[in-house]
Amino acid sequence: MSDPSLVPRYAVLGNPVAHSRSPFIHEAFAQQCGLPMRYERVLSPLDAFEATVRRFAAEGGRGANITMPFKFQVPALAARCSARAVLAGAANVLRFDADGWSADNTDGIGLVRDIQQGAGVALAGRRVLLLGAGGAGAGALGPLVQARPARVVVANRSFDKAKDLVARHAAWAGQHGVSLQAADLGLEGTFDIVVNATSSSVQGAGVPVPARLLAPGALALDMMYGAAALPFLRWAQAAGATARDGLGMLVEQAAEAFFIFRGVMPAAAPVLAALRAQLDAEVGRQVT
Ligand code: ATR
């Protein structure tokens, strides 16, 4: 494809967006799959998300990844919305089809694949604690339930938000034979897999629950990566758990988005290794 105007264009839209690793990840997938792709960062003004997406599509964009703080605005723009995006109430992928836009949410499936394939931990039959009922937690819950753990507890500082999120997923949990409950941060019990979807460490508040919630040999995963994940990773390691940051989830959600865009599923592992090396070189230290 020698004419650059024929190279399919994609972008990540957010605010801020300069930090986004999506161009690196998607260009690596494209190269791996032998597909042409141009992938950009588009900074959207906070009050002009819809206009920014429409301009990118009108200029020839084929699809976009949407990041914070716009994920909640995506479903309303789409003609079709996947079941997991409806459950999450948010989407991170838009494909600009000729007969209308399609929205999807790949965050949760990215998390599930990273747990099961990346960390090698099966979810079926396990006890899962999801910390946080904000946007990140909402995106994760549907696919977590779909992997059929025995039990999922959503614990949140504001109990009512956990309760609402659980209520929205009650029928889904019933269909998958999963016990799903809401809790506040004073919960009891032990869990095989603990996923941190709170932003408490970004705010310097540390991990909001005690380490006794971790079962022996538990997997503790923070959805963040880099410095933001360090307090949780240290907390988990000190308790003897296997600690994992959100870099694998980031690459896996992108792999699913790439599949939606191009119809080809790329291999996440080599791209995760390259991204990890890049990040380590930047911060000069290991984050997991
Ligand atoms: P995101 O899109 O990253 O999920 P969010 O929707 O603002 O961002 O949600 C942030 C999450 O982190 C929420 O679950 C929030 O709890 P509340 O719903 O009670 O606000 C949680 N969180 C933020 N700071 C926290 C802290 N210091 N301790 C415990 N939970 C915290």
Pocket test for ligand 1, best of 157, 163, 232 (most atoms within 8 A of CB): 157
Contacts of 144 (CB under 8 A, 6+ apart): 108, 111, 112, 123, 128, 130, 152, 195
Dist. CA 59–CA 48, nearest whole Å: 17
Q: Whose CA is nearest to atom 25 of ligand 1?
A: 200
| Tens-level pLDDT at each residue, the chain (288 residues) | 557 778 999 999 999 999 999 999 999 999 999 999 999 999 999 999 999 999 999 999 999 999 999 999 999 999 999 999 999 999 999 999 999 999 999 999 999 999 999 999 999 999 999 999 998 999 999 999 999 999 999 999 999 999 999 999 999 999 999 999 999 999 999 999 999 999 987 777 789 999 999 999 999 999 999 889 999 999 999 999 999 999 999 999 999 999 999 999 999 999 999 999 998 888 765 444
Residues 203 and 187 in one domain: yes
- Ligand 1 centre to CA of 200 (Å) is 6
Residues 129 and 196 in one domain: yes
Residues 184 and 228 in one domain: yes
Q: Decide if 256 is inside a domain.
A: yes
Tokens of 229: 């994940």
Residues 171 and 272 in one domain: no
Q: Decide if 288 is inside a domain.
A: no
Write the CATH number for 227.
3.40.50.720
Residues 67 and 181 in one domain: no
Q: Is 71 a catalytic residue?
A: yes
Residue 98: CA atoms inside 13 Å, Cβ hemisphere, count?
0
Pocket test for ligand 1, best of 194, 198, 224 (most atoms within 8 A of CB): 198
Residues 207 and 126 in one domain: yes
Cβ of residue 44 lying under 6 Å from some atom of ligand 1: no
Q: Which domain holds residue 20?
A: 4-105+250-283
Q: Decide if 122 is inside a domain.
A: yes
- Count the domains in the chain: 2
